Amino acid sequence: SQKIEQNSEALNIQEGKTATLTCNYTNYSPAYLQWYRQDPGRGPVFLLLIRENEKEKRKERLKVTFDTTLKQSLFHITASQPADSATYLCALAKGADKLIFGTGTRLQVFP
């Protein structure tokens, strides 16, 4: 069965540094992958989508890479700020309609 792994340990970084979160998957070849942000007590919020034929996608301070050979996506936040502190979820497309979510990585940016 498909398996999605995100680092369950919280990532703590200093303000201004680049945060890098990892999403690995096995037994699957998704057509696209999405990243979501989730704050405590709220639903996930969509951030970025990257397709299997794209290597990299950027949006403001966010960058996502997608390596279909390694079966891995990296999510970068440059010039991180305390307001970036949240849990970040990766989600893989399964078929045309469904998303399979990872368990998420909690990011804490301290001043």
Partner 1 sequence: DAGVIQSPRHEVTEMGQEVTLRCKPISGHDYLFWYRQTMMRGLELLIYFNNNVPIDDSGMPEDRFSAKMPNASFSTLKIQPSEPRDSAVYFCASSLRGGGRLNEQFFGPGTRLTVL
Using CB under 8 A as the criterion, what x/- string covers residues 13-42 for binding partner 1? -------------------x-x------xx
| Residue 17 or 58 having the CB closest to partner 1 | 58
Q: Which is nearer to partner 1, 47 or 74 (CB)?
A: 47
According to DSSP, the β-strands at 11-14 and 105-110 are parallel
User: Residue 45 interacts with partner 1 (CB under 8 A)?
Assistant: yes
In angstroms, the CA 4 to CA 76 distance is: 18
What is the rounded CA–CA span in Å between residue 63 and residue 57? 6
Task: Assess 103 for contact with partner 1 (CB under 8 A).
Answer: yes
